[in-house]
Amino acid sequence: MITQSILNGLVLGGIYILVALGLTLILSIMGIVQLAHGEVYMLGAYAMYYLCVHAGLNFLLAILISAFLVGGLGVLLEKYFFRPFRGKMERALIISIGLILLLQNAVLVIAGGTPRAFASPFSGMISVLGVTLSLERLIVISVAFGLVLVLFFLIKMTKVGQAMVAISQDREVAALQGINIDRISSIAMFLGCAFAAVSGALVGALFSVSPFMGGFALMKGIAVIILGGMGSILGAVLGGLLLGLIDGVVPVYSTTHMAGLIGFGFIILILLFKPQGMLGREFE
């Protein structure tokens, strides 16, 4: 039972990491908490549903197109909704709350409130030594860690990544060095939203797709980046894994409520001793 519960926790950790990656990237580059990130994740799941079920596209191709479309939407959101309020955290927060309502209701009008589902091609089960896991859950873990590696590579090995690091450390100095803040912000938003779309697509295949699925993602995503440290990718990985393992293991030996209690208790404890989170830095 312990092995099964750890595996459950790793899957949950994978989901949390997928959501938190985009959120933390946007936070570190743009300095805003994008509260509508859950809705972007939901849009990714809906794009996937329409591409797979209605357009009949291959699952992997549909994920790529969905990531590209939602990433593109992110670029528009950055340009028209967030750029005018750069550096004004409160206004950006209000904008993102407005976006939650706008995107949720737009999907409600277009797709209705009935949950949707689409089949993943990874539908088999793997059973080893009494531990069972569906292939689609294994894919979630793999994609989560794969995307972490992609992001690390991007940040460490590319000019764009280094520009992101510079902006996240000091936006004004980065601008004085000739870094195009607008362009890098657009790229960050594109990547953040594309990551959310990928996680929405994978989680949508795992559970179901509904206009309100973003609330859970946002709550967990924010918890992960608070725990791991605002703006830290490694922090998001560590925070996601920790919360995932707590949510996966504790309910097996106690209750789901106890998992919530321990998870959030742990966050409070970390914040008491390290207010910027485990691997984070302070934001002005």
Partner 1 sequence: MNKIKLGFFVVLGFMFVITVSQNTYAQEAKTLKIGAVFALTGPAAAGIKDCMDGVQAAADWINKKGGITVKGQQYLIEVVPEDNKSAPDGIVAAANKLVYKDEVKFIVGPVVPGLSMAMTPITEKAKVLRCKVNGTGNKAEMKPGMLYTFSTFMEIQYVRSVYDYFVKSYPNAKKIAITGPDEPGGQAMVAVAKKEAEAHGLKVVFSELYPFGTQDFYPMLTKAMAQKPDVFDLGVGIAPWYAGIIKQARELGFTGPMFAPSATGNIYLIPMLAGKDFSYDIFFLDADLKSPKMPSIVKEARQQVSNKFGVDLTFGHGAGWESLWCLVQAIEAAQSLDTIKVAKVWEKMKSIETLYGEGTMSGLKDFGINHVVLKPRPLSRLEKGEIEFIKFISP
- Residues near partner 1 (CB under 8 A) are 1, 4-5, 8, 11-12, 15, 104, 108, 112-115, 117, 119, 123, 125, 127, 132, 134, 207-208, 210-213, 215-216, 247-253, 255-257, 259-260
Q: How far apart are alpha carbons 230 and 281 in whole angstroms?
A: 6
List all residues 6 or more positions away from 116 whose beta carbon is below 8 Å from its beta carbon: 46, 49, 53, 208, 209, 210
**Which one, 124 or 178, has the nearer CB to partner 1?**
124
Residue 238 beta carbon to partner 1: minimum distance, rounded to whole angstroms: 21
* Nearer residue to partner 1 within complex by CB, 56 or 113: 113
Nearer to partner 1, 94 or 119 (CB): 119
Using DSSP, state whether 121 is helix, strand or coil: coil
Q: How far is the CB of 113 from partner 1 (least distance, A)?
A: 4
The DSSP string of 40-52 is HHHHHHHHHHIII
Of 203, 197, 147, 204, the closest CA to residue 39 belongs to: 197
Report the C-alpha gap between 225 and 20 in whole angstroms. 6
Nearer to partner 1, 93 or 133 (CB): 133
Q: Which is nearer to partner 1, 11 or 236 (CB)?
A: 11
178: left (phi over 0), alpha (psi -120 to 50) or beta: left
Minimum CB separation of residue 251 from partner 1 in Å reads 4
* Smallest separation (angstroms) from partner 1 to the CB of 194: 22
